[in-house]
Amino acid sequence: MKIRYFDHAATTAVREDVLKEMIPYFSVEYGNPSSIYTMGRKSRRAVEQAREKVANAINANTKEIYFTSCGSESDNLAIKGVAYANKKKGTHIITSKIEHPAVLNTCKKLEQQGFEVTYIGVDEKGKIKLNELVSAIKNSTILISIMFANNEIGTIQPIKEIGQIAKEHNIIFHTDAVQAVGNVKIDVQKMNIDLLSMSGHKFYGPKGIGALYVKKGIDFERIQDGGHQERNKRAGTENVAEIVGLGKAIEISCKQFDEYNNKLNMLRQYYIKKVQENINEIRINGDIENRLPGNCNISFKGIDGETLLLELDAIGICASTGSACTSGSSAPSHVLVELGIPQDYIQGSLRITFGQENTIEDVDFLVEKLIEIINKLRKNSQ
């Protein structure tokens, strides 16, 4: 059976040229980057070259990039690191209600430790309410953490404006850009970003590797104790092969940015048009204009999303009802709940996220099968 993969927000396949570049660092160039002999220095050079590629991709300086084990760790390090280092200045943090659990649960943990967190709402498109953000600011606010783009509905936030608000109030601004890197052009300087999290496996790099950008001068504490790696901010021997993979993947994604984005936009628009023409009682979730190019989240009235996913899986189609991290639970997604989607639509949402290997023929197949399955499920429930 041919597998058709439409879940690129969950993860992506490692590109062949990325893998090729990583392989020597597993068993040939396996020196520890902290070792001072030639083998160690070769690994160190590979790590530093990757750091440069990451920095170039977001217009940062190499000294502002720290490698971590994943996007979740980057979020933890950013939020806890800033909170702990700045708690004498204040203990109030602002985030949004539609963040990924990597941010929401980090904030909840900080609340248990005596920090105060305000969770601001979004409009019906999933966009942060800027007036709510401004009203939430207090003298004790030390950090604003707002995601760049949402993993479930694809809405891109007005990051530059949020960064400007933070700057005007002398508050540190972190953004979880795990879904944005590779899909949106990012310039941390122009966008007023102080800290930014990313994860290799969302842009055709390996899983289990992340990076955190921290603007020079921003005070943050390490959260993992141990050795002096990553300029004393993140202990643990560097995962050289994966760091090399992340560097290569981000370099390629920058080179192919326009071509890739145009393709994803075209596939998404084609998919939406075909669904609108052939299936009634649907809702397109998220912002139609300011959204990730490959993301399309549609709710089908009266459908159980999990049943739909299983039916699609049986014919080789991989998709999602929401975040991969929360799938397996049948409770409606916290993001869709925040958008105020009516009860009879909310359970029937399907997130399709297109990627480089998808074709028009794949979309035709997907829509043809969706029509069949949705008609069947709706008939059965009458």
Which residue reads 């439409």 in tokens?
A: 6
Number of residues in the chain? 382
- In terms of Cα–Cα distance, which of 331, 330, 306 is closest to 319? 306
Collapsing DSSP states into helix, strand and coil, what is residue 343? helix
Of the residues 70, 254, 296, 325, which is catalytic? 325
Min CB(133)–ligand PLP separation in Å: 19
- Strands 210-214 and 195-199 come out as antiparallel
Stretch that binds ligand PLP, among 78-86, 159-167, 171-179, 297-305 (CB under 6 A): 171-179
Among 118, 151, 192, 299, binds ligand PLP (CB under 6 A): 151
Among 147, 156, 249, 370, binds ligand PLP (CB under 6 A): 147
Stretch that binds ligand PLP, among 64-72, 127-135, 181-189, 367-375 (CB under 6 A): 64-72
- 274 touching ligand PLP, by CB under 6 A: no
**Interface pattern 91-130 for ligand PLP (x via CB under 6 A):** ---------x-x----------------------------
Closer by beta carbon to ligand PLP, 21 or else 99: 99
How large is the angle between the packed helices 360-380 and 305-314, nearest 10 degrees?
A: 130
Residue nearest ligand PLP by beta-carbon distance: 71
Number of residues lying near ligand PLP (CB under 6 A): 15
- 295 touching ligand PLP, by CB under 6 A: no
Among 95, 96, 179, 353, binds ligand PLP (CB under 6 A): 179
Give whole-number Cα distances, 229 to 24, 37, 67, 226, 358, in Å: 22, 17, 10, 8, 39
Closer by beta carbon to ligand PLP, 157 or else 299: 157
Distance CA 322, CA 344 (A): 16
Q: Which long-range contacts (CB under 8 A, 24 or more apart) does 107-115 make?
A: 107/79, 107/145, 109/80, 110/79, 110/80, 110/83, 115/83, 115/87, 115/91
Q: Is 107 among the residues known to form the active site?
A: no
Distance CA 32, CA 42 (A): 9
Among 7, 64, 176, 338, binds ligand PLP (CB under 6 A): 176
| Phi, psi at 349, each rounded to 5° | -100, 140
Among 133, 178, 339, 346, binds ligand PLP (CB under 6 A): 178
Q: Letter for the amino acid at 135?
A: S
Min CB(222)–ligand PLP separation in Å: 18
Among 210, 286, 293, 348, binds ligand PLP (CB under 6 A): 210
Min CB(114)–ligand PLP separation in Å: 25
Min CB(78)–ligand PLP separation in Å: 11
Min CB(374)–ligand PLP separation in Å: 27
Among 31, 42, 54, 71, binds ligand PLP (CB under 6 A): 71
| Phi, psi at 153, each rounded to 5° | -110, -5
Q: What is the DSSP string of 210-274?
A: EEEEE-TT-----SS-SS-HHHHTS-S---HHHHHHHHHHHHHHHHTHHHHHHHHHHHHHHHHHH
Distance CA 355, CA 59 (A): 25
Min CB(201)–ligand PLP separation in Å: 6
Min CB(343)–ligand PLP separation in Å: 26
Closer by beta carbon to ligand PLP, 70 or else 346: 70
- 199 touching ligand PLP, by CB under 6 A: yes
- Nearest 5°: CA angle at 45, between 220 and 195? 25
| Phi, psi at 175, each rounded to 5° | -130, 135
- Sign of the C-alpha dihedral, residues 121, 127, 128, 130? negative
Per CB under 6 A, residues contacting ligand PLP are 70-72, 75, 100, 102, 147, 151, 176, 178-179, 199, 210, 324-325
Residues annotated as catalytic (active site), given as ranges? 325
